[in-house]
Amino acid sequence: MTDFSPALIMLAAALVIALTRGTLRTAVLMIAPVVTLWAVWQIEDGVQASLFFLDYVIEPVEGSPLRRLFATIFAGMALLGGLFAYRTAKWQELAAAYAYSAGAIGVSFAGDLITMFLFWEIMALFSTVIVWCGGTPAARTAGIRYAIMHLSGGVILKVGIEGLAIQTGSVDIRPLLATDFNTWMILAGLLINAAAPPVSAWLADAYPESSATGTVFLSAFTTKTAVLALILLYPGESVLIGIGLYMIMHGIIFALLENDARRILAYSIINQVGFMVCAIGIGTEMALNGAAAHAFAHIIYKALLMMSAGVVLYRTGKSRCTELGGLYRTMPLTCICGIIGALAISSFPLTSGFTTKTLISQAAADQQLLWTYLLLTAASAGVFLHAGIKYPWFVFFQKDSGLRPKDAPWNMGLAMVIAAAVCILLGVFPDLLYPLLPYEMDYHPYKAGKVIFYLQLLLFSGLAFFILLPLMKRTETISLDTDWLWRRLGVSIALGIGRVMGFFGGLLTSQRKNVQGSVKQFTVNYLGQPHTADSEERSIFGRSWQIGTTALWIALLLSAYILVYYR
């Protein structure tokens, strides 16, 4: 029984990591997530703490199986990432990563929308720091775009939360449906973090610009926290089915176009989160179990893939498929771990992907959603194509790039081996995970006919890959994603507006100068008092007139006045 959020442990750890060095810092990096894990499992079901803030009931700690499941994997991922990163990452990156995971754990236990929003913004801030820790000019600009995207998303979320609070008087986290402006704004705010269209490009833009270790942290928290929030707030919101299916296909197509290995993996996050979003849209108990289980498994195998790509980047300084190849010779451990991650993401039997993703397909089949089921199945083939084979093939096999880098340092190797072991463990013994899921279910993934079906599907996708290999020759290019809208079109529009304004500004300036010149000339001509005593050189009204002329004018004016007045 505990009434404080375990997120506070990770926040405190982040502070200590920032202030200490050497062994003490390493000790905190390793111990804090373990203590957090312990604290996570002390939280019982239901609201554990509440307080009042501006007439609203704030519930910083609310327990449920689903919340504990996500907090467990977030804390576990911090530990794994910490082990992977601690010898090479900057202290800023490590501290930010732990604060970032604190944000994710805080969202997991948030019983109300205000607490959720608070931790949501903590995540946005510290993940931006991790992007910046990439240290390159590209990382700096990508970090700024990332921050703008997430802070804008936060504003949209906040607008929705405030509207809902005023409308209903409650900020409690409860299942909603997108029926009015407020609930749509909350949904949009969540979907921005889930990398849903049309803004999914932020993910593939920012994550690959972070350091070799930073991507491991980034891949775990933001999108999966959004998945948790969607499960809690919008289960069964049918618009999510379409959004999820779009994300699945978008991820595959852009990963196939991509040349940068880490960007391929970034696009496959969009693809995988698409599966979860689609499951939340289906909304049955089986589907929500599938979304939660898939998020759990995905965090581990995606971290494993990012770690293997991170080791390659760390050892070779390269990440483009065109520059890599043949690394299996000298990096067997990284290669094997990368392949295990690739098999898991492709939901190959005996890996965690198979025991979790098939829950989602099962849910679609149970609801008789034929097209959804067929698209999910086609997407499973597509995942094997873009992540399952393409990534390991182009990085570790393909051609001999001539690179002979050393294999992973021991800590990175250990982190990869642990992650790979968990991928296989959950694939062979799915009953380790199933009891932790939010709903009870009677599901057996390993039926002979179904395994054969998936083996056919995946192995023939593999055949397609090798037959179509000439069509997939890597080119040294990038592909335009929706970030073109704000990186090119937006900039062009802004520059265009600037030019139009500049034109009118110039026009105004020249006209003002003309008017000023005329007024000055007029003044000099009629009123001016040049610095000369000679009255002939003065302007008309500036001259001294003879007294007789003045008297004549006065007489004329008075006469005119009398005439007008007495007429």
Partner 1 sequence: MTEPDDKLHWLVRPETIKKLWWGGCLLLALTVLAQFVFGFEGYFGIDGWFGFGAVFGFLSCLAMVLFTKGLGYLLKRPENYYDPVDHDD
Residue 447 has which token pair?
Answer: 């039926």
- Specify whether the CB–CB gap between 392 and 320 falls below 8 A: no
> Is 180 near partner 1 (CB under 8 A)?
no
Nearer to partner 1, 158 or 357 (CB): 357
The candidate with the shortest Cα–Cα distance to 176, out of 167, 436, 69, is: 167
Spatial CA neighbour of 58 closest among 165, 180, 157, 155: 165
H-run or E-run covering 209: none
* Piece in contact with partner 1 (CB under 8 A), picked from 8-16, 59-67, 146-154, 475-483: 475-483
x-marked contacts with partner 1 along 436-455 as a string, rule CB under 8 A? ------------xxxxxxxx
> Using the rule CB under 8 A, which residue among 2, 88, 377, 401 binds partner 1?
377
| Minimum distance, C-beta of residue 443 to partner 1, in the bound complex (Å) | 14
Burial class of 384 by CB neighbour count within 10 A (0 to 12, 13 to 18, 19+): buried
- 3-state SS assignment for residue 490: helix
The pattern of x and - marking residues 151 through 170 that bind partner 1 according to CB under 8 A reads --------------------
Nearer of residues 90 and 487 to partner 1, judged by Cβ: 487
- Give 473: exposed, middle or buried? Use CB within 10 Å, 0-12, 13-18, 19+: exposed
CB of 385 vs partner 1, minimal distance in Å: 5
Q: How far is the CB of 283 from partner 1 (least distance, A)?
A: 18
Place of tokens 């001999």: 400
Piece of the chain touching partner 1 by CB under 8 A; list 170-178, 282-290, 461-469, 530-538: 461-469
Q: Is 485 in the site for partner 1 (CB under 8 A)?
A: no
Q: Does 428 bind partner 1 (CB under 8 A)?
A: no
Question: What is the token pair recorded at 140?
Answer: 């700096």
Distance CA 224, CA 247 (A): 14
User: Nearer to partner 1 by C-beta: 15 or 457?
Assistant: 457
By C-beta, is 78 or 381 nearer to partner 1? 381
What is the sign of the dihedral through the CA atoms of 501, 504, 509 and 510? Answer: positive
Q: How far is the CB of 415 from partner 1 (least distance, A)?
A: 26
> Quick check: 220 and 302 in contact, CB under 8 A?
yes
Nearer to partner 1, 74 or 396 (CB): 396
Distance CA 1, CA 39 (A): 9
| Contacting residue, 26, 344, 461, 486, with partner 1 by CB under 8 A | 461
Residue 463 binds partner 1 (CB under 8 A) = yes
- Residue 415 has φ and ψ, to the nearest 5°, of -60, -40
Binding mask 52-81 for partner 1 (x = CB under 8 A): ------------------------------
Minimum Å distance from CB 329 to partner 1? Answer: 6
CA–CA distance, 521 with 519 (Å, rounded to integer): 5
Q: In degrees rounded to 5, what are phi and psi of residue 235? A: -65, 135
Q: Which candidate, 214, 221, 192, 186, places its Cα nearest to that of 71?
A: 221
Q: At what angle do helices 214-233 and 65-85 cross, to 10 degrees?
A: 170
Q: Is 252 in the site for partner 1 (CB under 8 A)?
A: yes
Alpha-carbon distance values, 67 to 5, 11, 37, 152, 292 (Å): 12, 18, 12, 26, 10
User: HEC states along 297-333?
Assistant: HHHHHHHHHHHHHHHHHHHHCCCEHHHCCCHHHCCHH
Site for partner 1 in 295-314 (CB under 8 A): none
Site for partner 1 in 354-373 (CB under 8 A): 365, 368, 370, 373
Say how many residues touch partner 1, by CB under 8 A: 50
Choose, by CB under 8 A, the member of 477, 521, 525, 559 that binds partner 1.
477
- Binding partner 1 (rule: CB under 8 A), the pick from 431, 440, 476, 534 is 476
Q: In this complex, which beta carbon is closest to partner 1, that of residue 225 or of residue 380?
A: 380
Residues 320-339 that bind partner 1 (CB under 8 A): 326, 328-329
**Contact with partner 1 (CB under 8 A) among 468, 524, 556, 558:** 468
Place of tokens 């959020």: 5
Q: What track of x and - describes contact with partner 1 for positions 388 through 427 (by CB under 8 A)?
A: ------------x---------------------------
What does the alpha-carbon distance between residue 502 and residue 489 come to, in Å, rounded to a whole number? Answer: 19
Q: Kindly tell me which residue out of 35, 350, 441, 464 binds partner 1, with binding defined by CB under 8 A.
A: 464
Measuring CA to CA, which residue among 371, 368, 349, 367 is closest to residue 358?
349
Backbone angles phi, psi at 46, to 5 degrees: 95, 175
3-state SS, residue 433: coil
Q: Could you tell me which residues come within 8 angstroms of residue 229 by beta carbon, excluding any fewer than 6 positions away?
A: 107, 116, 190, 193
How far apart are CB 477 and partner 1 at their closest, in Å?
4
Pick from 18, 333, 378, 441 the residue near partner 1 by CB under 8 A.
Answer: 378
Q: Is 90 among the residues that bind partner 1 (CB under 8 A)?
A: no
Q: Is 148 in the site for partner 1 (CB under 8 A)?
A: no
Provide the minimum distance between the beta carbon of 142 and partner 1 in the complex, in angstroms, as a whole number.
10
Candidates 480, 515, 524, 540; binder of partner 1 (CB under 8 A) is: 480
Subset of residues 488 to 507 that bind partner 1, contact rule: CB under 8 A:
488, 495
> CB within 8 A of 130, min separation 6: which ones?
93, 96, 97, 100, 210, 214, 217, 218
Minimum separation from the CB atom of position 242 to partner 1 (A): 19
Nearer to partner 1, 188 or 253 (CB): 253
For residue 387, the minimal CB distance to partner 1 (Å) is: 13
**Residues near partner 1, by CB under 8 A:** 141, 252-253, 256-257, 326, 328-329, 365, 368, 370, 373-374, 377-378, 381-382, 385, 400, 448-465, 468, 471-472, 475-481, 487-488, 495
